[in-house]
A and B are shown apart, each in its own frame.
Chain A
Amino acid sequence: MAREVRHVNKLMQLSKGWNAVFVIILFFMASLVLIPMLLIVVISFSSEISIATKGYSFFPTEWSLDGYKYLFKTGDQLLDSYKVTIFYSVTGTLMSLACMTMYAYVIAQKKFRFSKFFTWFLFFTMLFGGGLVPSYILNVRYLRINNTIWIFLLPWLVNAYHTIILRTFIRSTIPDTLFEAARIDGAGHFRIYVSIVLPLFKTGIATVGLFSMVARWNDWFVGMLYIRNPKLIPLQTLLHKLQNTIDFLKQNAAIAGTPDGVALLRTLPDENLRMACTIMVILPILFAYPFFQRYFVQGLTVGSIKG
């Protein structure tokens, strides 16, 4: 019997030759992902002279830590931006999870008379929306929350898709009988939510929480559109601005070609600094995601969304 199983397993395996071919193809694909990242790392450690003479290269003529040194010396902006991004990701995600899990609990109730109505009230916003411009006018002209921290919290408080995923999680992990038993024991809805749903439902919350945290960490659009105060610029927006401003100044200096322009160009934080900054922005997420990968895969497979 055991031998037969082993025999079957062996037949189910790929032949050695094909296995080698696949390993090589997949390795090639992985290098397509990794090589561009490696280039950024190498540039961040290249000296400015090397970049000026040779351009970006995997093999700089001279290595240097100047990019990082400059970054930490004049790191006030980076530090401010880190603070903003951490606030945006952590506080934003927590507030949003609080609202979304409560709403998900409500629309997961099969006996609640209006749960269908509330589901549709939420779901419709996924189908149709005002789009960018009316929201922009609302935030800037009427609510006046641009250039304040509220722009990072309020307009993105609830994500309809995430809320519906949370509802699906609640329905599939917590049996109706448990709700009923708690009801019979005299627990109110809020009590059930706090002491039964939340504890039983940690993976669901972790999954959605991680997705929304990554989305907020990576967001540069809100900062670009709404923030003018440098103290409130998130990391990704800083990165976006850094790229455009350096290029802008460089173009102008090249066109002018004056000694002043050249001097200006010299004092500017340059290529390796920008790459060092890029590395500092992606480092936290690159270290964190392999540990949380399981949740992301799970979030993918929950898929089924029904109104």
Chain B
Amino acid sequence: MLQIRPKLNPEKKKRKIFIKEDAPLYLMALPTVIYLIIFCYLPMAGLIMAFQNLNITKGIFGSPFVGFKNFEFLFSTTDAWVITRNTVCYNLVFIVVNLIISICMALMLSSLRSAIYAKTMQTVYMMPYFLSYAVIAIVVNAFLDRDDGLVNAIIKMTGDPGKTNWYHQAGLWPPLLVFVNAWKGVGYQTVLYLAVIAGISTDYYEAAVLDGATKFQQARYITIPHLRYIVGISLILSMSHIFRGDFGLFFTVPMDEGKIYAVTDVIDTYIYRALTYLNNVGMSTAAGLYQSVVGFILVLIVNRIVNRIDPDSAMF
């Protein structure tokens, strides 16, 4: 069957660079190619601004070069250290916390007796994923607002004046941001792991049952080992993003409150503020270049590791 079809075009062997019938392909790729050049590759070239003292009216071609001044300025304060520490630490905690919660929830959901209940719960858990951080900031504010917030209202009931401004309490924010991030993201991840569990062949479970395994033994010896693989790979892959802070989370939820920057500022919010509040284009580009380069190196390292463990899951 496979051998019947004759080779259609034997002289095609000597491939020409341009084949006429490929012309539509170039045409179809054209809009995206133009887009990529203008909106992706030009900004990469624009990173040169990190070495300039940019004057917006004069533009890139009219501004003087200042060498590594912008980097010196960036790294001379503790800012660079604080935003790097915050970005990396928050991301690491986010990854671990979300992973643990969503795996537990997926295991519970998959073993429920009622499939309808499990489906309904899934739909509920997914909901926050579809809310923007502009909305979530308002939801958080409904609890924490100094004058009207639910938390202060409850504190008032105990006789306390209840006038704490939660947006000035640095100690509250690290756990709160971890909670908000989990609140938004766990449902989505749960559904992902649930899909993996649903893909495990029922043969394993039937065999286990015939051997007298309890439901917990099944989870321990069948489900979790099956998940371990995808979890391991996605853990490693997510390491490549730990240099990118979630701008929405860190900017809107603490309402850009200056008093708690020490615990809420990440690289992305720092760049935004350096650009829009300070108008310091050079230094914000320098911070951006720092982020891009370290991020790129991380991706390369992560990919090399994944390639060694499991080439099929590697990015490239």
Binding site for B on A (CB under 8 A): 8, 11-15, 18-19, 22-23, 25-27, 29-30, 32-34, 36-37, 39-40, 43, 51, 54-58, 98-100, 102-103, 105-106, 109, 112-113, 118, 121-123, 125, 127-138, 141-143, 154-155, 157-158, 163, 184, 188-190, 193, 214, 217-221, 225, 236-237, 239-240, 243-244, 247, 250, 271, 274-275, 278, 281-282, 285-286, 289-290, 293, 296-297, 300-301, 304-307
B281 within 8 A of A: yes
Name the CB-closest residue of B to A157.
B35
Q: Which residues of B lie under 8 Å from residue A135 when comparing CB positions?
A: 39, 43, 46
Interface residue tally for chain B (C-beta within 8 Å): 104
B147 within 8 A of A: yes
Q: Which residues of A lie under 8 Å from residue B289 when comparing CB positions?
A: 131
Q: How far is the CB of A91 from chain B (nearest CB, A)?
A: 15
**A163 and B32 contacting across the interface, CB-CB below 8 Å:** yes
Q: How far is the CB of B44 from chain A (nearest CB, A)?
A: 5
A204 to B288, CA, bound (A): 34
**B134 and A56 contacting across the interface, CB-CB below 8 Å:** no
Contacts A56-B153, A189-B24, A290-B123; A158 near B36 (Cβ below 8 A): yes
**B153 and A128 contacting across the interface, CB-CB below 8 Å:** no
Contacts A130-B288, A289-B127; A121 near B22 (Cβ below 8 A): no
Q: Which residues of B lie under 8 Å from residue A189 when comparing CB positions?
A: 21-22, 24-25, 28
Binding site for A on B (CB under 8 A): 8, 15, 17, 19, 21-22, 24-25, 27-29, 31-33, 35-36, 38-47, 49, 54, 56, 59-60, 105, 108-109, 111-114, 117, 121-128, 130-135, 137-139, 141-143, 145, 147-150, 152-153, 156, 183, 187-188, 191-192, 195-196, 205-206, 209-210, 215, 218, 247-248, 252, 255, 268, 271-272, 275-276, 281, 284-285, 288-289, 291-292, 295-296, 299, 312-316
A18 to B134, CA, bound (A): 39
- Taking a contact as CB atoms closer than 8 A, the residue among A25, A106, A296, A306 that contacts B25 in the complex is A106
**A99 and B49 contacting across the interface, CB-CB below 8 Å:** no
**B137 and A240 contacting across the interface, CB-CB below 8 Å:** yes
Q: Which label, helix, strand, loop or mixed, suits the secondary structure of the A interface?
A: helix
A106 to B24, CA, bound (A): 9
Q: How far is the CB of B101 from chain A (nearest CB, A)?
A: 9
A129 to B271, CA, bound (A): 14
User: Can you give 24 contacting A-B residue pairs, CB < 8 Å?
Assistant: A13-B113, A32-B183, A39-B142, A103-B29, A125-B36, A127-B299, A128-B296, A131-B43, A131-B288, A132-B288, A133-B288, A134-B47, A137-B60, A138-B43, A155-B39, A190-B24, A218-B134, A220-B252, A221-B247, A225-B276, A236-B132, A244-B255, A296-B126, A301-B195
**A39 and B315 contacting across the interface, CB-CB below 8 Å:** no
Q: How far is the CB of B198 from chain A (nearest CB, A)?
A: 10
**A19 and B112 contacting across the interface, CB-CB below 8 Å:** yes
A236 to B135, CA, bound (A): 8
